[in-house]
Structure 1
Amino acid sequence: MERKTKVLFLCTGNSCRSQMAEGWARHLRGDIVEPYSAGVEVHGMNEHAVRVMAEAGVDISGQRSKHVEELDGIPFDCIVTVCDHARETCPFIPGNAVRIHAGFEDPPRMAAETDDPEKKLDCYRKVRDEIRDFVTDLRLNQT
């Protein structure tokens, strides 16, 4: 049995984008990927992210927001920053992990521009689908 590729999805608060990426990676590529997510801060799980992922058939309700330091010692093969702030403030993570930046828009910031509850969720759906496409196309070297 081949070892799964350990991928860390890193965002600012590990509440939305990185959580969605972890969920998609587990759902779409769990046979070859061991996904993790964390933040450079901890903001708690975003209820809208949980909801729109459930709409797509992916349950992330059991995941929790965590600081990247909680994952210290895990030998990641790939580290993906999913927002610019995480890329700019990412602490040093030792190892030979391939580093990829995929800056996705911030759904809470986008949703703040409307009072319509459905349009707010559409902001999350848009980013959810972009992250799904990214995870689907992510090229990983199997070790």
Structure 2
Amino acid sequence: MNIYLTLQAIIEKAQALPISDERKAVLQVLIDYIQKKIDQGQEINLNYICTHNSRRSQFSQIWGKVAAAFHGIDINSYSGGVEVTAFNERAVESIKRFGFKVSKEGVGNPKYFVLYSNDENPIVAFSKVYDDAANAPKGFAAIMTCSHADENCPFIPGAEARIPVRYEDPKAFDDTDQEAEKYDERSLQIGSEMLFVFSQIMKN
């Protein structure tokens, strides 16, 4: 798999970021879930969930797929929310800056086709509810990426595991001088942590 050169440099930068012991403890629950699925020879379905499915869950879906592919692990990476908005354009611009190739189809809530390698199928990213037909209906881990969704969705139908991995929302910096910096910072953090997760998996 030939990951795009700009993105390769971002991956190296993400791998070099320190991860605190506190965050590693949070991520260990996800590591254990993935390892169990590998050990049992079962399909791995990860559904990253936040309220609007517009920023953090989209970053997580994309980085989850890339990190798994980087470490040679086959997963299905999804995302969803509790209401439909759109994949925020600021977040889209951030992944473009990181070297992903992105094409767009539609208006309002467009579908974005996100490529990290010419050897792989694109990641299809758009805002949707967590139980949208595009996502796995059952046998998935619900990874709660924001506190609001985690606290207001006590039950996720079809989920066999519920794993909180919360991130701060870059939306707080919209329309400020720090906007691009904070979106990139959050994306890089998520990339770093997903790369760490899959680096810990023992393949059979």
Query: For this structure pair, what is the TM-score category when the shorter chain's length is used for normalisation?
Result: 0.7 to 0.9
Distance 1:73 1:4 in 2: 11
- Cα deviation, residue 64, structure 1: 0.7
TM-score w.r.t. the length of structure 1 is: 0.82
From the CA coordinates, give the structure whose radius of gyration is larger.
2
Instruction: Please name the residue that 1:120 is paired with.
Output: 179
Picking from 91, 106, 113, the partner of 1:49 is 91
Residue 142 of structure 2 contacts residue 156 of structure 2 at CA under 8 Å; is this kept in 1?
A: no
Shift, 1:45, TM fit: 1.1
* Uncovered stretches (5+) of structure 2, i.e. residues with no partner: 1-40, 103-111, 114-124
Q: How many residues align?
A: 138
TM-score (norm 2): 0.59
- The alignment partner of 1:98 has SS state of strand
Residues 17-67 of structure 1 deviation map (CA, whole Å, 9 limit, x = unaligned): 000111111222144210000001112110111111122223463211001
Partners of 1:120 and 1:96 in 2: CA distance: 34
Unaligned stretches of 5+ residues in structure 1: none
**Which residue does the alignment assign to 1:134?**
193
Closer/same/farther in 2, CA of residues 141 and 68 from structure 1, 3 Å limit: farther
Supply the AA of the counterpart residue of 2:80. Answer: A
Aligned-pair identity in percent equals 28
**Residue deviations 1:93-139, cap 9 Å, x none?**
24462221111111111x14x632xx211110111011112212236
Q: Does 1:16 align with 2:55?
A: yes
